[in-house]
Amino acid sequence: MIQLEHLTKEYNGVRAVNDLTADIPDGEIFGLLGPNGAGKSTTILMLVGLIEPTAGRCLIAGLDVAREPLKVKQQIGYMPEDVGFYATLSASENLSYFGKLYGMGPKECRERSGDLLHLVGLDGVTKDVGGYSKGMRQRLGLAKALLNDPKVIILDEPTANLDPQGVADYRRIIKGVAKEGKTVVVSSHILEEVSRVSTMIGILSAGRLVAQGSWKDLARDLSTKAGAEVTLLIETRDPLPEIVHPDIVSADYERDRYRAVIVARSDIRDSIAESLALQGIRLRGLSREGLTLEETFLSYYQAEG
C-alpha cells in the first residue's frame, strides 16, 4: 500500500531524512519509532504531501504523492502531532467543513460526523473546540483522520495527550480499522504504545531507517546488535543437568537444581527447551527477565552511537 523509495529531505543543506526505503503492505499497523529529531515527522509530512521530498518518492496505492497529491489526499486520513481545529466551531462543524473538502454532501457529513464523534467519545460535547482540552482535541483528531473512510491512516504521536481511557479507546479503534484492511502508520517515541498496537516497526535514527520488521524479530535483532544480555529463569519438575551453550555468560543453579538463572548474550530459550526435552526433563517454566523494551532501544541507540 505504501512505498517509500530513497526518500530524502534536506533543510538548508541538513538531511532530515536520508535515503529512506520501506514497503508497508495493506492492513499493517506500521510503527515509526525514533528519538526526537530522527526524521519521523518529516517523513510523515512527505507521506501526506505537505512537503516535497528533495529526492526519492512516496507512493500510496500506487500513486506518487508529489505528482498526484489530490488523489492521494482523498485516500488518506491524517492526524498531526499538535492537532489544531477551528476554535470558534463545534466538533461537528469542524468535521462537516472538512467533510465538504472531501466532496461529501451535507447529509453524509452530518451522519459520518455523528458516528465518528460517538466512536471517539465526543458525541455529547456541544461546546466550541476552543474550549477543548488537548486530549479532547486529540480524540477529535482521530475522528477527523477517519472522516473520509481512508485506505491509509497516518497518525503522528497520536496518544501524546490522551488519558488512560483515551489510550485504550485509541488502541481499540486503530486495531479495528486495521482489521478492515486499512493501513495505519503511527509515529511515536513512546515505545510501549507502539509495541501495543503495531504489527510492523521501522526505526529511524538521524534520518535513516536503521531497522524494519515485525516487533518480535526486531526486538531480538536489536538485543543482539546492541550487545544486550538476556536473563532467563528456568524452572523444572526434574533436576536440571548442566546447560551448555556458547552464548551463556553465567549460570546459577539452586541447590536442589529445580531452578536456575542463566545470563546469555541472546535469547536462547528455544534452544534450552529443545535440549531439555531431548533429555526428558519436564519444564515448569522458562521466562525471560532481560531488558525492558525501553532498555533494549536505548542499548540499541547507544550501540549505534
Partner 1 sequence: MARNGLITIAEKELFDHLRSRKFLLIFGILLVVAIVGMIGGITEYNKALDSYNKHQSTIDSPLSSYMAEKPSILSVFSSVATYLIFVGGILGIAMGFDLVSKEKESKSLKILLSHPVYRDEVINGKALGGIAALAGALFVVLFIALATLLIYGIVPDGNELVLIGVFALVSFLLIFSYFAVALFMSTVMDESGTALIYTIIIFILLSVLVPTLANDTVMETVVGEHPELPQELLDQMQKSVDTNATESSAIVVSFANKGTDSGGAWDAYNERMQAYWEKRQMVRDTFALFSPTMNYESITSMITSGSAGRSLVMSTGGNTATAFSVASTGDAGVEDILAKIAANLVALLLFPAIFFGLAYVRFMRLDVR
Instruction: Choose between 73 and 196: whose C-beta lies nearer to partner 1.
Output: 73
Nearest to 102 by CA among 161, 148, 140: 148
The nearest distance, CB 39 to partner 1, in angstroms, is 12
The nearest distance, CB 83 to partner 1, in angstroms, is 7
Q: Residues for the chain: how many in total?
A: 305
**Where does this chain touch partner 1 (CB under 8 A) — which range of 26-34, 83-91, 175-183, 297-305?**
83-91
Nearest to 167 by CA among 150, 132, 192: 192
Instruction: Choose between 45 and 174: whose C-beta lies nearer to partner 1.
Output: 45
Give the span between the Cα atoms of 229 and 264, in whole angstroms. 6
Contact status, residue 247 vs residue 268, Cβ threshold 8 Å: yes
76 binds partner 1 (CB under 8 A): yes
Give the span between the Cα atoms of 172 and 183, in whole angstroms. 15
Instruction: Choose between 154 and 191: whose C-beta lies nearer to partner 1.
Output: 154
Instruction: Choose between 134 and 216: whose C-beta lies nearer to partner 1.
Output: 134
Contact status, residue 217 vs residue 195, Cβ threshold 8 Å: no
Q: Which three cell numbers stand for residue 30?
A: 506500521
Nearest to 19 by CA among 10, 28, 11, 27: 10
The nearest distance, CB 112 to partner 1, in angstroms, is 14
The nearest distance, CB 103 to partner 1, in angstroms, is 3
Q: Which of 2, 83, 204, 291 binds partner 1 (CB under 8 A)?
A: 83
Instruction: Choose between 51 and 261: whose C-beta lies nearer to partner 1.
Output: 51
Stretch 134-173 residues interacting with partner 1 (CB under 8 A): 141, 144
Mark residues 25-64: x for contact with partner 1 by CB under 8 A, - for none: ----------------xx--x--xxxx-------------
87 binds partner 1 (CB under 8 A): yes
**Where does this chain touch partner 1 (CB under 8 A) — which range of 57-65, 85-93, 117-125, 208-216?**
85-93
Q: Which of 84, 124, 280, 305 binds partner 1 (CB under 8 A)?
A: 84
Instruction: Choose between 98 and 300: whose C-beta lies nearer to partner 1.
Output: 98
Instruction: Choose between 83 and 146: whose C-beta lies nearer to partner 1.
Output: 83
Instruction: Choose between 126 and 242: whose C-beta lies nearer to partner 1.
Output: 126
Give the span between the Cα atoms of 190 and 193, in whole angstroms. 5
Give the number of other Cβ atoms within 10 Å of residue 250's Cβ. 10
Give the DSSP per-residue string, 81-121.
SS----TTSBHHHHHHHHHHHTT--HHHHHHHHHHHHHHTT
Residues 6 or more apart whose CB falls under 8 angstroms from that of 195 comprise 31, 215, 293
25 burial via Cβ count (<10 Å: 0-12, 13-18, 19+)? exposed
14 binds partner 1 (CB under 8 A): no
Task: Report how many residues bind partner 1 under the rule CB under 8 A.
Answer: 30
**Buried b / exposed e along 209-221 (16+ C-beta atoms within 10 A):** bbbbeebeebbbe
Q: Which residues sit at the interface with partner 1, rule CB under 8 A?
A: 41-42, 45, 48-51, 69-71, 73-74, 76, 78, 80, 82-88, 97-98, 100-103, 141, 144
